[in-house]
Amino acid sequence: MAREIIRLEAICKNYKVGLEVVRALREISLTINKNEYVALMGPSGSGKSTLMNLLGCLDTPTSGSYFLNNKDVSKLSDNELADIRNKEIGFVFQTFNLLPRSTALDNVALPLVYAGRTKHDRRDRALEVLDQVGLSDRTHHKPNELSGGQRQRVAMARALVNNPSIILADEPTGNLDTKTSIEIMGLLQDIHDAGNTIILVTHEEDIAKHAHRIIRLRDGLVESDEKNTEIVTLEESRLGGVE
């Protein structure tokens, strides 16, 4: 039986811009279960970035409730939200967000510093996840010594290091070429197969088709929420995307 990991109840988010109130999200309600692979799509201004920030506990709603692992996180303080982010959510960004002067190993181990793990534990766990993403031979390289795909793999290892409930990937292939994008999507599939819940934010239809469920937003509302019946496998991506 599927276990619920996320539940949104009538989520609204308003922003004040001058004298005008912008309704970025309008009473969004949805549920995501453990080990689902969901793509979140929508044009510019649809509210998908706002929804991603709420799901990632980077922001709080104006009204409504957000339950993460059965805990209402919609009204927590900034410090409480930071603690939830560190323990429950692994982030993968389009721009990698790596510390330029730190090695791959130190970048990956950073969340464990905030989690209070010992230096020995941090090193062992960081090496473990770097091996998981195929970078055991690049542990002491700095970001400027790595390709774009390798930097994204470091970012994915960092996202995995705390064993989070959710991997939130925001346009993870946006800065990558086709071949490297396919490799990163294959790695996301491996992470999903290992039991992680993945929420993929993208504007690219071919990337979204790797997900098992596609939620489309428009004007702050859920326009559609459908099971993907045409899931693209890694093999199909390679055949279609690489000469």
5-20 pLDDT per residue, tens = 999 999 999 999 889 9
Whether residue 7 is contained in a domain is answered as no
**Which residues constitute the domain of residue 189?**
35-60+89-241
Whether residue 223 is contained in a domain is answered as yes
Whether residue 234 is contained in a domain is answered as yes
Which pair of structure tokens corresponds to residue 240? Answer: 């279609």
Q: Tell me the pLDDT tens digit for each residue of 101-127.
A: 999 999 999 999 888 889 999 999 999
Mean pLDDT of 163-185: 90
Q: How many CB atoms lie within 10 A of CB 107?
A: 25
Whether residue 144 is contained in a domain is answered as yes
Q: What is the mean pLDDT of the chain?
A: 91
Question: The domain that contains 148 carries what CATH number?
Answer: 3.40.50.300
CB 222 within 8 A of CB 42: no
DSSP 8-state code for residue 216: E
Predicted pLDDT at 242? 41
Whether residue 15 is contained in a domain is answered as no
Q: Tell me the pLDDT tens digit for each residue of 41-69.
A: 999 889 999 999 999 999 999 999 999 99
Distance separating alpha carbons of residues 164 and 85, to the nearest angstrom: 9
Q: Crossing angle for the helix pair 104-114 and 119-132, nearest 10 degrees?
A: 130
Look at residue 90 and tell me whether its pLDDT is greater than 90: yes
Decide which of 199 and 2 is more confident: 199
Mean pLDDT of 145-158: 94
Which pair of structure tokens corresponds to residue 200? Answer: 């993929």
Predicted pLDDT at 144? 95
Whether residue 172 is contained in a domain is answered as yes
Mean pLDDT of 143-167: 94
What count of Cα atoms within 13 Å lies in the side-chain half-sphere of residue 87? 10
Segment holding 9, helix H or strand E? strand 4-17
One-letter amino acid at 109 equals A
Structural domains counted in the chain: 1
Whether residue 227 is contained in a domain is answered as yes
Predicted pLDDT at 44? 86
Mean pLDDT of 199-216: 93
Whether residue 1 is contained in a domain is answered as no
Predicted pLDDT at 243? 38
Which residues, 6 or more positions from 175, have their beta carbon under 8 angstroms from its beta carbon?
94, 95, 96, 148
